Amino acid sequence: MAFNVLIIDDSSTMRSLIRKIMGIAGFPVGQYFEGANGREALEILNHECVDVILTDLNMPEMDGKALLQTIRGKTDWKDLPVILITTERRPEILSQYSRLGFQGIINKPFRPETIKQVLSEIMGEPDVATIAESEGCDF
């Protein structure tokens, strides 16, 4: 089964990096969608079928917290898996996000294997055949 992935980060290079790592890790991705902030994420969610969201927190216009609040408030999206990709490690701050509900966290700077591990927990282990077909994997 292929998953549709939504990557939200105001850094286009970070979005490219995440996409590349997911490809190398061999996750069966159907379509990638990308946005630079929460507002763009909501627009994509309104028009596309998304299976998992990877989002930054610190973004202009609409940050990750506001995005998470909106997603959890909508019946159609409330169970959508959300993975935070952030520098945030402060327990006092992360507890606010825990209350809203997220499925995983990847701290920046991250190593490729961390993305693989967190995604595996949520999406299941990637198919070995898919990894073999990808451009190579060193983790």
Partner 1 sequence: MSQLLQNLKDVTSEIFESMLFLFIEPPQEEVGWNGTGIQSRVRVIGPQTFTVGITVPLALGCQMATNFLGSGDQELTLENVFDALKEVTNVIAGNFVNKLKTGAAYQVQIPEAQPVFLEYGSHRPIKGVMWFEVDGQLIELFIKNG
Give residues in contact with partner 1 (CB under 8 A).
10-14, 16-17, 20, 58-60, 86-90, 92-93, 108-109, 111
Q: How far is the CB of 46 from partner 1 (least distance, A)?
A: 25
Closest CA to 116 of 101, 96, 131: 131
Q: How far is the CB of 24 from partner 1 (least distance, A)?
A: 9
Closest CA to 106 of 30, 25, 50: 25
Smaller CB separation from partner 1, 17 or 122: 17
Compute how many other C-beta atoms are within 10 angstroms of the C-beta atom of residue 41: 25
Q: How far is the CB of 58 from partner 1 (least distance, A)?
A: 6
Residues 56, 38: Cα–Cα separation, whole Å: 9
Smaller CB separation from partner 1, 48 or 61: 61
Q: How far is the CB of 113 from partner 1 (least distance, A)?
A: 12
Give Cα 9 to chain centroid, integer Å: 9
Smaller CB separation from partner 1, 12 or 46: 12
| Whether the Cβ atoms of residue 60 and residue 37 lie closer than 8 Å to each other | yes
Query: Tell me, what amino acid is at 88?
Result: E
Q: How far is the CB of 56 from partner 1 (least distance, A)?
A: 9
Smaller CB separation from partner 1, 76 or 92: 92
| Whether the Cβ atoms of residue 15 and residue 9 lie closer than 8 Å to each other | yes
Smaller CB separation from partner 1, 75 or 109: 109
C-alpha pair distances (Å), 5 with each of 26, 43, 48, 108: 13, 14, 10, 19
